[in-house]
């Protein structure tokens, strides 16, 4: 196996995205340290990754030996200070500028000066997060998609002060993880979530105008247009506690441009906790992971 561009990688925030990034980083040969503020999140993440590898072993797509080696590469970090020797730290925590700025300012004081710090933000400005840093040239956006092992694209985003060499290293590492890096400008939503406004926001408008119900829209866009997931299935997968703040953030950053205005439908559902598949109910109800139309 080729030597990984980053030997030791820290993951901060081991939810849906952090665990996926951890999985492909370990598969690429890096030692991976997992940190989360929720006490059981790291154990859950490690168990979920190991379950993926066990499935691959059962299907004959991964040897038991390689699986055991990969498992060894995943280690919990009890505190942020345990990430001191990481060459790269990727953050996948809550989508809030103030929280991300605070985290990176703290991380910068922990890691070596040559370490690269990266954010998996979906919508926030890389330059704005970097404003909290003494070494903004070592910081970039590294935006993966859910589920990370299957969605093979990653957007690499330079902030105003990012050293281009940092983005080049992140692109090399993306390829080593089996992903295709795409350079995107530091603009709200970058490429995919900017284009995605059309998909999700217009679908919500169609529902609020009473033109069609959500399941019909999903069905048509999949069966007749060829999308893998309908917009409402996608919102359920991403979960509204993640995607609604992204919608708000893009809208605000474009100075309240009407075409990006978030929907009251998602605001209400978020307030009611009906956020998506991970809680068993979003637009659909989930029984054993399979979507059903809610009564």
Name the residue nearer to ligand NAI (CB basis): 73 or 244: 244
Is 266 an interacting residue with respect to ligand NAI (CB under 6 A)? no
- Separation of alpha carbons 228 and 212, rounded Å: 20
Select from 120, 111, 115 the least CA-distant residue to 81: 111
Instruction: Show the CA angle centred on residue 241, arms to residues 208 and 259, nearest 5°.
Output: 40
- Is 155 a known active-site residue? yes
- Separation of alpha carbons 214 and 207, rounded Å: 6
Q: Which of 34, 74, 92, 129 binds ligand NAI (CB under 6 A)?
A: 92
Alpha-carbon separation of residue 145 from 19, 180, 246 (angstroms): 12, 12, 14
155: helix, strand or coil? strand
CB 42 → ligand NAI: shortest distance, Å? 9
- H or E element in which residue 49 lies: helix 41-58
Is 93 an interacting residue with respect to ligand NAI (CB under 6 A)? yes
Name the residue nearer to ligand NAI (CB basis): 115 or 246: 246
Q: Which of 7, 37, 165, 272 binds ligand NAI (CB under 6 A)?
A: 37
- The footprint of ligand NAI on this chain (CB under 6 A) covers a number of residues equal to 27
Q: How far is CA 194 from the centre of its chain?
A: 15
Residues linked to residue 181 through DSSP beta bridges, in sequence order: 154
Catalytic residue among 95, 155, 233, 281: 155
Stretch that binds ligand NAI, among 11-19, 23-31, 64-72, 258-266 (CB under 6 A): 11-19
Catalytic residue among 122, 125, 243, 249: 122
CB 182 → ligand NAI: shortest distance, Å? 14
Name the residue nearer to ligand NAI (CB basis): 29 or 108: 108
HSE-CB for 244 with a 13 A CA cutoff: 20
Site residues for ligand NAI per CB under 6 A: 12-18, 36-38, 41, 92-95, 99, 103, 120-122, 143-146, 238, 242, 246
């Amino acid at each position: 196996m080729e030597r990984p561009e980053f030997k030791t990688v820290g993951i901060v925030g081991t939810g849906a995205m952090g665990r996926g990034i951890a999985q492909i980083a370990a598969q690429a040969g890096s030692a991976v340290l997992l940190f989360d503020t929720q006490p059981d999140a790291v154990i859950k993440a490690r168990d979920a990754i190991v379950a993926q590898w066990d499935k691959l072993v059962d299907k004959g797509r991964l040897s038991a030996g390689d699986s055991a080696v990969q498992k060894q590469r995943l280690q919990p970090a009890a505190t942020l200070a345990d990430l001191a020797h990481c060459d790269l730290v990727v953050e996948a925590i809550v989508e809030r500028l103030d929280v991300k700025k605070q985290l990176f300012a703290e991380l910068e004081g922990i890691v070596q000066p040559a370490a690269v710090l990266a954010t998996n933000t979906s919508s926030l400005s890389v330059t704005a997060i970097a404003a909290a840093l003494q070494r903004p040239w070592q910081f970039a956006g590294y935006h993966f998609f859910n589920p990370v092992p299957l969605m093979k694209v990653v957007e690499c985003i330079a902030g105003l002060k990012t050293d281009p060499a940092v983005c080049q290293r992140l692109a090399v590492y993306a390829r080593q993880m089996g992903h295709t890096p795409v350079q995107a400008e530091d603009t709200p939503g970058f490429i995919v979530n900017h284009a995605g406004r059309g998909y999700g926001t217009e679908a919500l408008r169609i529902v609020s105008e009473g033109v069609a119900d959500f399941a019909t829209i999903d069905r048509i866009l999949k069966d007749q247009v060829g999308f893998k997931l309908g917009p409402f299935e996608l919102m359920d997968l991403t979960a509204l506690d993640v995607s609604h703040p992204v919608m708000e953030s893009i809208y605000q950053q474009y100075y309240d441009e009407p075409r990006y205005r978030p929907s009251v439908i998602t605001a209400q559902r978020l307030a009611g906790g009906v956020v998506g598949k991970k809680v068993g109910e979003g637009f659909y109800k989930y029984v054993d992971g399979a979507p059903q139309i809610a009564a």
